Amino acid sequence: MKRFFLPGPESILSIGVLAVFGLAILFPSALTHSDPATGVAKDHLLAPDWTHWFGTDQLGRDVLTRIVYGARETLPAALLATLTGVVFGAFIGGLAALSTPIVDAALSGIIDVLLSIPELLLALTVVILTGFGPVHAAVAVGISQTASFARIIRNLVRSLRAMPYIEAARLSGTGFGGLIWWHFLPNAFRLVLGLAVLRYSMAILSLATLGFLGYGAPPSNAGMGTDDCGRPRLSGDRLVDDYLSRSGPADRRVCNQPPQPRHDTPEGTSAMNTQRPVLDVSHLGISYDGKPAVENISFQTLPGQTLALIGESGSGKSTIAKAIIQMLPPSARLMHGTITLNGISLPDTTPRGLNAIRGRQIGFIPQDPSSSLDPRLPVGRQIEEVLRLHTSQSRSERREHVLHLLEHVGFSEPERRFSQFPHELSGGMKQRVLIAIAVALAPPLIIADEPTSALDVTIQSQILDLLDRLREESGSSVLMITHDLAVARDRAHDMIVLRHGQIAEQNTTRNLFENPRSSYTRKLLADSPAFHSRSATPDRPVSGTQPTIQVKDLTIAYGSRTAVSHISFDVQPGTTHGIIGESGSGKTTLLRCLMGLIPPQSGSVHVHGKDIFSETSEERRQRLRNMQLVYQNPWSSLDPRLTIRRIIEEPLRNYFSEGQTWRQARLHDLLERVHLPLTLLERYPSEISGGQCQRVALARALAAQPDILVLDEFVSALDVTVQARILELLSELQKELNLTFVFVSHDLAVVRQIADTLSIIRYGKQEEYGEAEQIFREPASSYTQILLQSIPGQKHSKAQRSVF
Amino acid sequence: MSSLRHTGIQLIRALLILWGAFTVTFFLLQMMPGDAVMVRFMDPELGLSPEQIEAMRVLYSGSSSPVFQYLHTILRMLHGDFGYSVQLGVPVRTLIVAALPVTLRLAVVGFILSLVWTLLIAVGASLLPARPLRQAFQAIPGFWSAIPLYWSGIFIIQVLSFKLRLLPVVGVGPWEGVILPALAVSLPIAAPQAKLLLQQIEETGRLPFVMAIRTKGASQRSVFFRHILPNSVTPCLTMAGLSFGELIAGAIVTETIFGLNGLGRLTRDAVSGQDVAVLQAVVMIGATGFVAANLMVDLLIPLINPSLRSSAGWKEKSGP
């Protein structure tokens, strides 16, 4: 039952309370011996005592007894009401969400109409229609709740339908019934259950209200509303919140890379600095809930210089950044060490003092520009805020200052930009705004936390150039947190390589690349695609035979907008075609059309010589089996409620009729192919790492025995060392199984590793098409040239002077 | 221009919903088992002959075909004529005109009070210095929503009026008389609103931009009032709009307890007397209140949240 229910301590407590209620309802005589309907006249209106725990009413009836017997009537009736609401609501909502837009619109309209009639009135009307009585009242309350259930369930199912794992299951050959049973129901179950529990308690109140108004149980019965005595609602509230919050985003994952003890200690560094350091971190150690996250970190930053902190996920680089700006989460504890900014010890500063330092002494450039600005305020006001907090400038002075800053970070129309909202700006522009905020008061220290990881490569180099220019002008010291060795090589004077919370190597940039001292740095350098051209594989024929995929003059439109226009390419069997494009280039649209998921406006796609847009449904099924799509996000493309075994078995069940023993053997064979241990089979996607998830996704794709894999940004979310292993696995599989790959990515360095032929697209147009190495060596289009120049890691190291 | 078009679409949508609500209730009420006319005039004590009853039935337009009646009723309603109350024999319009102000006063005061509670709870639960105090404020919505309206109403009368003698319940002016019932009605309305607002505040607080603003040097309080709260109110506003609609028609319990002669009392009497014309009118007033409140919220939200300015759409009836 694990896929449905995981009890925590709070739910156990709630279940306990519910159990007491349940027992009281089932066995009322265990609690009380009195008769709910008859009282002893002389005992009327007694105060609570040992015989009558809750006292007695006007007629001398025991109140506790009446509550217990009232609950006996009302609680099952409320259950009936909620069940009625859930069943009808789920049916209508599910139907609306899963059928055609017209049916959806019609049903949504009906739902809106029903919502507009007040629930109590609707319930009353239904009661009048069906007649009075407890069952009728319960059904009436249920029907009056149906519309709001239907609305919520419709939205829930629609959001589930958009999850990549649902599409992945569909492309694995799972039919409509299978989708409902294996994917929609388990994933919707918790939320609907939580909702139902919440609605259950509301149904009790509604029934009691109906009873109070005289339309529920006949007055002789002891329904809950007929006593002038409110009962505390079931303590299911926490339980529901618990469900809702825990089953909310279904792709919360843990990366389980256990920290391993390191044996080589960082080499001593020879300080030859003449300048006073801006930031001085010494022997820093921080733990989360008692577990050390970073240990023994010491470094200094110098004015006008950039120090890069490099590490993969879980290396502790963000923890260090947060510790410096003193914004660690409450579970974090400073174990030892000091952090000093221009002589001030930051951990010893009061909250008020820190507010004066943040923004004024330390500028912070956050990781993800798209979510780091208040969506509700014009960007000019957001830059102004830092001036308002730290200066005594007047309103007009501040405005002048902001306009100047906007111009300084490269905006051509500062007046217009000032009043624009974040959603009106591109990612690169938002990052410029955030940089303007960070540099507004020329702080001595600027912390840049993965400042360009979310940006396209051409934008990335512009932003980094801007940051370099501002640093040189203001003489600020920059601490750059990054996972990207190539970016660090171009921009940093000194580097610190972190691994599992410890310093693996601390060196000048030049030395680190020419003479890496630690074995981990050497591994990182070897695995970074930016520093290599194609991994040595013999050139395969790129023309001559019948191509596996032929795309001719393909144009795809979304409404009136042309997303992709006139794209043509061939992919030969056993080769890899790379499609490179920045965000908004139309590469995802192209890929979905290639799979036959969206129709083109003109042009054609032939797979194995057959036009995929004039195929029969059986041909389509066969083609989709031969042509598997593998998704970008390792976590959202695997159903969180299924075990790894179930996930890989799905296509085996759908496409092959062989029995359980054959499936078992095939499963083991597939796991071996993607180098996963058998012990993973019974785990859930949330319990394995990102790299392992991608291996599972590959195994699922290979289970259908395809000869084409279409890979969408397949390694983009992975750490560089994991990325390198997955790319190796892809080459290995291609050779062994003679697979044809279409590999879509924004990352030129990665594509260069794997592609034989290449298409470069921009704004939906094919800028270049041809043999990969040829394009990398002699790019013909000016856009390709810019793209290639923007790849980080090509500039000369900046190290002139250094602390180390 | 597009915002004008958006407004137009929303208006048409609202009218369609009203029409739908009318149609649904009309046919539901047509299906009533007992004939309301019969219920009233078949009473042997009145001693009417079958011919006389038939004449009454024609008078209350009960004999023509349902489709004709449907069109007839819709046309009448568009002219502000809601027909006659079978029970009381007076125009429904007269009844409504007398009852509506009472309920509107109750709804408006209760609504404003509920907004005040919601804000107080949100501020207390987020900014009070001691953790136990914040937790106590966080627990209020769950506690309030567990108390049924008829219980809190009676409790309020008992304590505030009878025991403490702060405010009398009977023999007071229209506005004073509405304070206690509005207080009673504001609690269950505020509870889900406050709960949703607390949830939203927590979610907004986790968004990256909040941390980004803290790195500018803004204090916790300033971030709360300038950024977190304004970014959290949108869903609450939607819910508030819905509850205002509910308040107009859902005053039944409150008016019964406090002895107010508003729409709620009218509804109650109409239900027990199966007075179709009155019920139809009350449902239409409730639906109009709901639709109008929603329309207002829909037009208000883009003003508060600029990123929603381009997207249209009826907002979800979220939560309880």
Question: CA A734, CA A416: separation in Å to the nearest integer?
Answer: 52
Q: What is the pLDDT of residue B247?
A: 77
Check whether A472 has a pLDDT greater than 80.
yes
Q: What is the pLDDT of residues A164-220, one digit of tens each?
A: 899 889 888 888 888 888 898 888 887 888 888 878 878 887 887 777 777 654 443
Q: Return the C-alpha torsion angle A159, A160, A165, A170, nearest 10.
A: -110
What is the rounded CA–CA span in Å between residue B273 and residue A420? 60
Contact B208/A121, CB-based, under 8 Å?
A: no
Q: Which residue has the higher pLDDT, B164 or A493?
A: A493
Establish if B39 touches chain A: CB-CB under 8 angstroms.
Answer: no
Residue A523 in any domain: the answer is: yes
Please, which residues 137-176 of chain B have a Cβ atom closer than 8 Å to chain A?
Answer: 142, 145-152, 154
In a domain, A267, yes or no: no
The predicted structure's pLDDT at residue B255: 84
Residues of chain B with CATH 1.10.3720.10: 99-311
* pTM of structure: 0.77
Higher local confidence (pLDDT), B186 or A239: B186
- Tens of pLDDT along A626-670? 999 998 887 788 998 899 999 999 999 999 888 889 999 999 999
CB pairs under 8 A between A and B: 186
B265 in contact with A, Cβ within 8 Å: no
- Select the residue of B209, B217, B290 nearest A373 (Cβ to Cβ): B209
What is the percentage of chain A residues whose pLDDT exceeds 90? 39
Helix (H, G, I), strand (E, B) or coil at A627: strand
A116 with B216: Cβ contact below 8 A:
no
CA distances from A57 to A66, A210, A463 (A): 9, 21, 77
Q: Is the domain of A578 the same as that of A720?
A: yes
Order of strands across the sheet with A610-611? Answer: A610-611, A602-607, A549-558, A561-571, A765-771, A757-762, A576-580, A740-745, A708-712, A627-630
The bridge status of strand A279-288 relative to strand A332-341 is: antiparallel
Cβ atoms within 10 Å of A653's Cβ, excluding its own: 17
Higher per-residue confidence, A253 vs A10: A10
Which single residue is written with the structure tokens 């501002």? A470
The pLDDT score that the predictor gives to residue B119 is 94
Q: Does A6 touch chain B (CB under 8 A)?
A: no
A447, A408, A409, A437: which is closest to A306 by C-alpha?
A447
DSSP string, B162-213: IIS-SS-SSS--TTHHHHHHHHHHHHHHHHHHHHHHHHHHHHHHHSHHHHHH
Percent of chain A at pLDDT > 70 equals 85
Provide the terminal-to-terminal Cα distance of chain B, rounded to the nearest Å.
Answer: 36
Reference B266, options B78, B280, B31, B59; nearest CA is B280
Q: Is A200 in CB contact (< 8 Å) with chain B?
A: no
> Given the structure tokens 């970074």, which residue do they identify?
A528
Q: Say which of A114, A125, A372 has its CB closest to residue B212.
A: A372
CA distance A188 to chain B (A): 16
Are A555 and A522 members of one domain?
A: no
- Mutation pick from A14, A115, A116 vs chain B, by most beta carbons of B within 10 Å, is A116
Instruction: Give A740's DSSP letter.
Output: E
At A44 the pLDDT is 67
pLDDT at residue A236 in the model: 35
Flag whether A717 is in a domain.
yes
Considering the domain architecture, whether residues A607 and A521 belong to the same structural domain is answered as no
What residue in B sits closest to A374 (Cα-Cα)? B209
Mean pLDDT of A712-718: 85
Confidence of residue A567 (pLDDT cuts 50, 70, 90): very high
Task: Please report whether residue A89 resides in a domain.
Answer: yes
Rounded-to-integer distance, Cα A98 and Cα A103, Å? 9
Pairing of strands A610-611, A602-607: antiparallel
Contacts (Cβ under 8 Å, ≥6 apart) of A27: none
More confident site: A753 or A298 = A298
Q: CB-based burial of residue A556 (10 Å sphere; 0-12 exposed, 13-18 middle, 19+ buried)?
A: buried
Could you read off the pLDDT of A257-274 as tens digits, one per residue? 333 333 333 333 334 445
Looking at the domain assignment, is residue A245 inside a domain? Answer: no
Backbone angles phi, psi at A445, to 5 degrees: -125, 135
Nearest to A457 by CA among A529, A513, A521, A386: A529
- Nearest of B252, B253, B259, B207 to residue B230 by alpha carbon: B207
Give the residue with greater pLDDT, A18 vs A375: A375
Strands A602-607 and A549-558: antiparallel
- Domains: count for chain A: 3
Specify the amino acid at residue A672: E
**Cα Rg of chain A (Å, integer):** 32
How large is the average pLDDT for residues A359-372? 91
Q: Which CATH code, of 3.30.70.1230, 2.30.40.10, 1.10.3720.10, 1.10.645.10, is assigned to B99-311?
A: 1.10.3720.10
Cβ separation of B212 and A434 shorter than 8 Å?
A: yes
Closest CB to A116: pick one of B148, B207, B290: B290
Examine the domain organization and report whether A379 and A298 are in the same domain. Answer: yes
Q: Specify the residue for token string 């259908």.
A: A704
Contact status of A117 with chain B (Cβ, < 8 Å): yes
Q: What is the DSSP string of B224-280?
A: IIIIIHHHHHHHHHHHHHHHHHHHHHTTHHHHHHHT--SHHHHHHHHHHHT-HHHHH
Q: For the ranges A238-252, A521-535, A775-789, B48-62, which has the lowest average pLDDT? A: A238-252
Is A711 strand, coil or helix? Answer: strand
Bridge pairing between strands A740-745 and A502-508:
unpaired
**Who's near B170: CB < 8 A, 6+ residues apart?**
B259
**How far is CA A89 from each of CA A101, A109, A146, A204, A696, rounded to the nearest angstrom?**
18, 14, 5, 18, 36
Q: What is the CATH number of the domain that holds A123?
A: 1.10.3720.10
The letter for the amino acid at A671 is: L
In terms of domains, do A518 and A388 share one?
yes
Same domain, A182 and A331: no
Q: Does the pLDDT at position A543 exceed 70?
A: no
Contact A10, A17 (CB under 8 A): no
pLDDT at residue B38, as a whole number: 56
Q: Which residues of A touch B18 (CB under 8 A)?
A: 116
Q: Which of B 268-307 lie inside 8 A of A, CB atoms?
A: 268, 271-272, 274, 279, 282-283, 286-287, 290-291, 304-307
Q: Do the Cβ atoms of A739 and A548 come closer than 8 Å?
A: no
Half-sphere exposure of A236 (CA within 13 A, CB side): 19
In this predicted structure, which of A122-136, A753-767, B58-72 has the lowest mean pLDDT?
B58-72
Q: How many residues does chain A have?
A: 804
Q: Residue A744 has what pLDDT?
A: 92
| Letter string b/e over residues A96-130, b meaning 16 or more CB atoms within 10 A of that residue's CB | bbbeeeeebeebbbbbbbbbbbbbbbbbbbbbbee
**Listed ranges A230-239, A262-271, A759-768; the one with the highest mean pLDDT:** A759-768
If DSSP codes are grouped into helix, strand and coil, which group holds residue A208? helix
Q: Work out the average pLDDT over A492-507.
A: 93
* Residue A255, pLDDT score: 35
Contact B252 A120 (CB under 8 A): yes
Between CA A715 and CA B242 the distance in angstroms is 46
Which residues, 6 or more positions from A265, have their beta carbon under 8 angstroms from its beta carbon? none
For A683-711, the pLDDT digits (tens) are 999 888 888 999 999 999 999 999 999 99
User: Which among A110, A112, A117 has the least Cβ separation from residue B314?
Assistant: A112
- The CA-atom distances, in angstroms, between B214 and each of A328, A366, B223, B230 are 12, 11, 7, 16
Indicate if A514 and A592 belong to the same structural domain. no
Ordered DSSP codes for A176-187 = HHHIIIIIIHHH
Residue B50, min C-alpha distance to chain A (Å):
25
Contacts of B245 in chain A (CB under 8 A): 116, 118
Torsion over CA: A120, A126, A132, A138 (sign): negative
Q: How many residues comprise chain B?
A: 320
> Cβ separation of B212 and A364 shorter than 8 Å?
yes
Question: Are A499 and A566 found together in one domain?
Answer: no
pLDDT band at A309 (very low <50, low <70, confident <90, very high): very high
Determine how many CB atoms are found less than 10 A away from the CB of residue B72: 13
Give the C-alpha separation, A647 to B128, whole Å: 48
- Structural domain contains residue A250: no
Give B75: exposed, middle or buried? Use CB within 10 Å, 0-12, 13-18, 19+. Answer: exposed
Which of A209, A240, A271 finishes a domain? A240
Q: Are residues A391 and A501 in the same domain?
A: yes
Nearest CB neighbour to A198, from listed B21, B256, B320? B320
Q: How far is CA A475 from the centre of its chain?
A: 38
Residues A729 and A592 reside in one and the same domain: yes
**Across A323-327, A470-474, B76-80, least confident range:** B76-80
| Cβ(A42)–Cβ(A59) below 8 Å | no
Neighbouring C-beta atoms of residue B41, cutoff 10 Å: 18
Interface test with B, best of A108, A113, A354 (most B CBs within 10 A): A113
- Same domain, residue pair A234 and A309: no
> Predicted confidence band at A37 (pLDDT cuts at 50, 70, 90)?
low
Of B145, B146, B249, the CB nearest to A121: B249
Q: Is some CB atom of chain B closer than 8 A to the CB atom of A434? A: yes
Q: Where are the beta strands (DSSP E) in A174-218?
A: none
Closest CA to A134 of A196, A80, A54: A80
Termini Cα distance of chain A: 57
Series of mean pLDDT values for 10-residue runs along chain B (320 residues): 76 90 84 57 62 65 68 82 80 88 88 93 91 89 79 80 71 75 86 90 91 92 93 86 72 81 84 80 86 85 71 34
Q: Which residues contact A618 (CB under 8 A, 6 or more apart)?
A: none
A538 vs B291: CA distance, rounded Å: 69
CATH assignment of the domain containing A745: 3.40.50.300
**Structural domain range at position A389:** 279-528
Q: Please name the helix (run of DSSP H) or strand (run of DSSP E) that holds residue A447, with its range, or none.
A: strand A445-449
Q: What gap in Å lies between CA A207 and CA A142, rounded to an integer? A: 10
Whether A577 and A720 share a structural domain: yes
